[in-house]
C-alpha cells in the first residue's frame, strides 16, 4: 500500500477546515450602520455628557454663516416643493386621538429652535439637535427599512432648524452621513426605528440641542413637537405622559400627524431631555393599537446617539 505523507494529510485537514460552513455573524439589532460605510462603535463612556445646551443668546447672519449654515433666500419654486412633501410610508398612521390638543410653537427661542424640519428624496420628517452637528430622528427618515431597503441619498437631505412656515430663521444645513442600526436597516423592525443625521454645519452651537436620558419612563411627562403634514411647515406640540413602555418602545396619547416622525419624545428636567423618538401611530393590537408610539431611549440607544454625535 502506498504511504501517504504527513504533509498531504495536513493539507487535506486544512482544506476540510476552510471548506466547512462558516457560522453566520450574530449581528446585534443595535449595531450601528451608516450610509457611507463608516464604523462608529457605541460608547458607554461619553466624552461629552448628554446634557442640553441652550446655544447662543444672540444670533446673527454672520454667526450662522460661520457655522456653515446656508442662509440664502428661498425661491418660490423651492417653497412649493417643500409644501408638497409628505412623511414616507410607515406602519400605522400617526393620529390625533380624541380632541386635538396640539398647539403651535414659534421658533426663535430655545428649545423650540433646536427642533428641525428634515426634507429628503422620499418626503419629510422631523428631528431634534443632539449636538453641534447631529440630529436624532427616526430610522425610516434615513433608510427605507429591511434588507431590501436602501439609504435615502444623503445629497437630498436638508435640515431646517426652527423652521416656521415660509420663514427659515436659522437657514438650512445639508448632510454628509446618516446613521441607523441593523435592527432597522436589516430586520426592518419598528422596535429599532431610530437614526441620526450628521450635518455639514455646526448650527447646534447657535440654536442649542437637547439632552438624552434613559429614565424608566412609565408615568413620565411626554412632550412631542415637530412638523405635522396638516400644518404646512409650522411646528406644533402636544403634551401627555408615557402610558406604557416595553423593552424597546414607549406609548403615549400625544397627538401627532404624518411628518412628525423623528420628533423627540421629551420631558423637562432642568432642560429638555429625550426619552424616546416618535415614529408610529395606532396599528395592530394591544398598546400599538391604543397609542401613538416610538423608540425608547434605553442604554443601547443612548450609547449610539452619543457615539453618532461625537463622531468626526
Closest CA to 247 of 181, 182, 301, 184: 301
Q: Rounded distance, CA 209 to CA 50, Å?
A: 10
pLDDT of residue 23: 35
Nearest of 255, 299, 256, 291 to residue 275 by alpha carbon: 299
Percent of the chain with pLDDT strictly greater than 70: 88
Residue 183 DSSP SS3: helix
Answer yes or no: are the C-beta atoms of 91 and 261 closer than 8 Å.
no
| Of 248, 229, 249, nearest in space to 290 by CA | 249
DSSP letters for 255-283: ---TT-TTPEEEEESSSEEEEEEEEE-B-
Q: Is 140 a catalytic residue?
A: yes
Instruction: Answer whether 240's CB lies under 8 Å from 248's CB.
Output: no
Among the listed residues 140, 143, 278, 293, the single catalytic one is 140
Q: How far apart are CA 79 and CA 64, in angstroms?
A: 21
Cα–Cα separations (whole angstroms), residue 163 to 174, 236, 265: 15, 11, 19
Residue 51 carries which DSSP code? -
Q: What is the pLDDT of residues 62-74, one digit of tens each?
A: 999 999 999 999 9
CA 1, distance to chain mean position in Å, is 70
Q: Is it the case that residue 46 has pLDDT exceeding 90?
A: no
Cα→Cα distances 184→93, 136, 187, 269, Å: 19, 15, 5, 30
Q: How far apart are CA 89 and CA 307, in angstroms?
A: 28
Q: pLDDT digit string (tens) for 262-282?
A: 999 999 999 999 999 999 999
Lookup: cell for 234: 409650522
CATH class of domain segment(s) 32-310: mainly beta
Concerning whether 261 is annotated as a catalytic residue, the answer is: yes
Question: Looking at residue 14, what is its pLDDT?
Answer: 32
| Residues 6 or more apart whose Cβ sits within 8 Å of residue 72 | 171
Task: Point out the catalytic residue in the list 34, 53, 261, 309.
Answer: 261
> What is the spatial distance between Cα 86 and Cα 120, in angstroms, rounded to a whole number?
10
Structure confidence at residue 25 (pLDDT): 41
Whole-number average pLDDT of the chain: 88
Dump pLDDT digits (tens) for 223-265.
999 999 999 899 999 999 999 999 999 999 999 998 999 999 9
Cα separation, 21 vs 18, whole angstroms: 8
pTM of the model: 0.89
- Distances from the Cα of 85 to the Cαs of 24, 81, 233, 294, in angstroms? 40, 7, 10, 22
- Give me the torsion for CA of 240, 249, 146, 30, rounded to 10°: 130
Amino acid at each position: 500500500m502506498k504511504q501517504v505523507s504527513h504533509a498531504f494529510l495536513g493539507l487535506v485537514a486544512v482544506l476540510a477546515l476552510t471548506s466547512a460552513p462558516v457560522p453566520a455573524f450574530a449581528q446585534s439589532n443595535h449595531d450601528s450602520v451608516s450610509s457611507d460605510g463608516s464604523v462608529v462603535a457605541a460608547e458607554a463612556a461619553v466624552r461629552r455628557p448628554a446634557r442640553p445646551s441652550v446655544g447662543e443668546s444672540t444670533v446673527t447672519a454672520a454667526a450662522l454663516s460661520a457655522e456653515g449654515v446656508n442662509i440664502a433666500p428661498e425661491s418660490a419654486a423651492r417653497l412649493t416643493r417643500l409644501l408638497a412633501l409628505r412623511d414616507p410610508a410607515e406602519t400605522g398612521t400617526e393620529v390625533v386621538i380624541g380632541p386635538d390638543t396640539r398647539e403651535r410653537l414659534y421658533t426663535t427661542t430655545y428649545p423650540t429652535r433646536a427642533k428641525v424640519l428634515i426634507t429628503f428624496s422620499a418626503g419629510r420628517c422631523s428631528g431634534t439637535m443632539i449636538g453641534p452637528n447631529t440630529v436624532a430622528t427616526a430610522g425610516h427618515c434615513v433608510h427605507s427599512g429591511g434588507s431590501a431597503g436602501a439609504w435615502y441619498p444623503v445629497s437630498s437631505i436638508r435640515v431646517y432648524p426652527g423652521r416656521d412656515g415660509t420663514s427659515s430663521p436659522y437657514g438650512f444645513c445639508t448632510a454628509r452621513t446618516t446613521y441607523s442600526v441593523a435592527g432597522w436597516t436589516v430586520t426592518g423592525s419598528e422596535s429599532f426605528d431610530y437614526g441620526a443625521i450628521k450635518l455639514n454645519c455646526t448650527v447646534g452651537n447657535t440654536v442649542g440641542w437637547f439632552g438624552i436620558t434613559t429614565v424608566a419612563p412609565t408615568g413620565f411627562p411626554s412632550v412631542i413637537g415637530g412638523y405635522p403634514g396638516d400644518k404646512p411647515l409650522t411646528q406644533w406640540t402636544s403634551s401627555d405622559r408615557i402610558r406604557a413602555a416595553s423593552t424597546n418602545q414607549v406609548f403615549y396619547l400625544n397627538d401627532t400627524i404624518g411628518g412628525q416622525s423623528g420628533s423627540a419624545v421629551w420631558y423637562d428636567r432642568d432642560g429638555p431631555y429625550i426619552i424616546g423618538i416618535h415614529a408610529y401611530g395606532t396599528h395592530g393590537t394591544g398598546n400599538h393599537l391604543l397609542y401613538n408610539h416610538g423608540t425608547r431611549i434605553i442604554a443601547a440607544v443612548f450609547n449610539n446617539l452619543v457615539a453618532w454625535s461625537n463622531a468626526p
